[in-house]
Amino acid sequence: MRLRGQGTTEYLIILAVVIVIALVVVGVMGFLPGLGTSVTASQSKAYWGAASPLAITDWEFDDDAAGCDLVLRNQTSGKITVTGVETEGAALTISNTALTAGQESALAITGGCQTCSTGDPYDYNILITYDTTKLTGKTQTGTTSLVGTCA
């Protein structure tokens, strides 16, 4: 014998369970801020590998102030000269690096790198200052930071 309203109550309980499961799945997938995980190293590599006008195709930070490497690629059809790079607001000591259209080159960094402990994860914001043939002092920053594990 069914009690009055029992079917409606069962329906609402099932609906509540489905909604909770859906919220957990959405949170794990990262669609809700604060519930998903942060940017992974592979997501960071994909973002910076396609960035424009300068792509960062590879990078590494290690446990000393001179221990960082950045590989840049000019994504434009003109010449770009990199005049400055900052990570987390700290300027790296670099030599001006001119990149022709499509050229990829390791940046000559001699100091000022962020330091980290071997094996620890890092997440550094980056700002690149560059000149084109027509404009000087242009800057590029990304919506995704450089993410990886300290070497």
Q: How far apart are CA 80 and CA 100, in angstroms?
A: 6
* 27 shares its domain with 92: no
Phi/psi of residue 22, each to 5°? -60, -40
Angstrom distances, CA of residue 67 to CA of 43, 63, 98: 23, 7, 22
Reduce the DSSP state of residue 82 to 3 states and report it. Answer: strand
* 61 shares its domain with 21: no
CATH number for the domain spanning 48: value is: 2.60.40
* 94 shares its domain with 127: yes
What amino acid occupies position 11? Y
pLDDT tens digits along 66-119: 678 899 999 999 999 999 999 888 898 888 789 999 999 998 888 888 878 888
pLDDT tens digits along 38-78: 678 889 999 999 999 999 999 998 877 667 889 999 999 99
